[in-house]
Amino acid sequence: MTERAGIYGGSLYDLAAEEQLTDAVKEQLLGLKAIFRENPEYLRLLAEPAIKRQERLDLIDKALAGSCEKYLINFLKLLCERGLLGEFEGCCDAFVKRYNADHNIAEAVVTSAVKLSDAQLASLKTKLEAKSGKTVSLSQKLDPKVLAGIKVELEGVMLDGTISSRLSGIGRKIEEAVL
């Protein structure tokens, strides 16, 4: 995330907080982030200098009117006008970071070789919440290189209980013993 994205995303958060719309704006922002990832050509269209500025702004209105808060629509228009649509994802990240800080939420990513069951995810979430003292927003990534076990990143701290990590540690100990 760039400094500029942090400033813009933080400003949107401040406005949403002032208007008591942080939950709605966060949900809509994340929805737009997913849509823009699936349709990057739409952002390219909005950034196209050959299309008149007002036409690009009208495209935002037509696409989002009635489905997004006016502050979010105006935020996108501002990014469009200033040629900063490439910063949109970073702005989303900055908004969510501020939201999480204000709501005592910690983001965690669990990586495993196979998909964990809902019960396993719920149990892990409960343990992480007890450890961190925060509400945990847990997402899952699959990585066949993990082999077995799980790896959890919680607020920049890596908790690695994978077989591949253990094997790597054993390999280092053997190398140290041989040398």
Domains along the chain? 3-101 (1.10.520.20), 105-178 (3.40.30)
Q: CA 141, CA 122: separation in Å to the nearest integer? A: 15
- 149 pLDDT band, cuts 50/70/90, is confident
- Matching residue, tokens 């945990």: 136
Q: CA 10, CA 16: separation in Å to the nearest integer? A: 10
Q: What residue type is assigned to position 173 of the chain? A: K
Give tens-digit pLDDT for 6-63: 899 999 999 999 999 999 999 999 999 999 999 989 888 888 889 999 999 999 999 9
Give tens-digit pLDDT for 94-106: 999 999 999 999 8
Q: CA 53, CA 155: separation in Å to the nearest integer? A: 41
Neighbour order of strands in the sheet with 157-162: 135-142, 105-112, 149-154, 157-162
Q: How far is CA 144 from CA 44, 78, 114, in A?
A: 34, 42, 7
Buried b (16+ CB within 10 A) or exposed e, 101-133: eeeeebebebbbbeebeeeeeeebbeebeeebe
**Max intra-chain CA distance, the chain:** 71
pLDDT of residue 116: 87
pLDDT of residue 61: 92
In sequence order, the 6+-apart residues with CB closer than 8 A to the CB of 68 are: 28, 32
Q: Is the pTM of this model over 0.85?
A: no
- Mean pLDDT of the 82-87 span: 90
What distance lies between CA 170 and its chain's CA centroid?
35
